[in-house]
Amino acid sequence: MTWDKIWPLLWQGTQDTLLMTIPSTLLAYVLGIPLGVLLVITRKDHILPHPTFNMTLGFVVNLLRSIPFIILLVMLFPVTRAVMGSAIGTVPIIFPLTVSAFPYVARMVEGSLLEVDGGVIEAAQSMGSSTFQIIRKVLLPEAMPSLVNGFAICITTILAYTAMAGAAGGDGLGKYAIAYGLNRREYTMMYAASICLVILVVLFQFLGTKVSKMIDHRRR
């Protein structure tokens, strides 16, 4: 394979990878934030204590999280086909990616929200805040730098999932690395696609750290 063939594939692969990664991450957050919030506030020493609910939710999240992505991907084929119209390709793969990532996101969000100082929450309660006001105006804003850091970790993890999805109906850089590089022994293509993935991971992580620091007002 020559570079004039490799470059267009890399470009196409990068686009497809982002097209899978970004919507999946956002959708995973749409589900993961409320779940993460619930995992925190229903703890027994938090603002809406409900130990039974908390335990059940925690169990379900752990269960989902413990299924390896590549297996979940295959298990979900019929569901993905029903929901997305097809089980393979760039857009349909968003579904299993989201399903796989949201429990992970929920745990990341939980971790960030737990960092918020209990005293600040108590102060908000003492001022007559409702549960929803505490979530929206205290928990989430106070945890924002940590949430952004977590977002960078999640998006890079999902990026790695897309590469895995390349082995079973997925698209993007992962597919090119596997289909061309591994199966046809086009090692240049494999390394080139892998380097592109590394660059994307480094870029997201760098941006995440940068933004997290920028919005954190706990530094002088």
Partner 1 sequence: MRSVEGVTKENPSPFLIELQDVRKVYPVQGGEVVALNDINLKIRRGEIYGIIGLSGAGKSTLIRCINRLDSPTEGRILIDGQNVLEMNKRQLRSMRRKVSMIFQQFNLLMQQTVEKNIRYPMEIAGVPRAKISARVKELLKIVGLEDKAKVYPIQLSGGQRQRVAIARALASDPEVLLCDEATSALDPMTTQSILKLLQEINRELGITIVVITHEMAVIRQICTHVAILDGGVIAEEGSVDEVFTHTKSAAGRRLFGIVAPESEEVRLESGTPPVRLVFDGEQIPEPVVANLILKLGLPVSILSANVRSLNGKQYGQMIIELPEDPVIRKTAMDFLRQQGVAVEEVHP
Q: Which residues bind partner 1 (CB under 8 A)?
A: 117, 119-120, 122-130, 133, 137-138, 141-142, 144-145, 215-220
Identify which of residues 130 and 209 has a Cβ nearer to partner 1 in the complex.
Answer: 130
Cα angle for residues 135, 140, 144 (degrees, 5° grid): 175
Q: How far is the CB of 152 from partner 1 (least distance, A)?
A: 18
Identify which of residues 98 and 212 has a Cβ nearer to partner 1 in the complex.
Answer: 212
Identify which of residues 86 and 216 has a Cβ nearer to partner 1 in the complex.
Answer: 216
Give the single-character DSSP code of 42.
T
Residue with tokens 């997925």: 170
Paired tokens of 140 = 């989430």
Q: How far is the CB of 150 from partner 1 (least distance, A)?
A: 16
Paired tokens of 36 = 């993460």
Q: How far is the CB of 138 from partner 1 (least distance, A)?
A: 7
Q: How far is the CB of 70 from partner 1 (least distance, A)?
A: 39
Q: How far is the CB of 132 from partner 1 (least distance, A)?
A: 10
Identify which of residues 10 and 147 has a Cβ nearer to partner 1 in the complex.
Answer: 147
Q: One-letter amino acid identity for 211?
A: V
Q: One-letter amino acid identity for 201?
A: V
Distance CA 158, CA 87 (A): 18
Are 143 and 116 within 8 A, CB to CB?
Answer: yes
Distance CA 198, CA 129 (A): 45
Identify which of residues 185 and 217 has a Cβ nearer to partner 1 in the complex.
Answer: 217
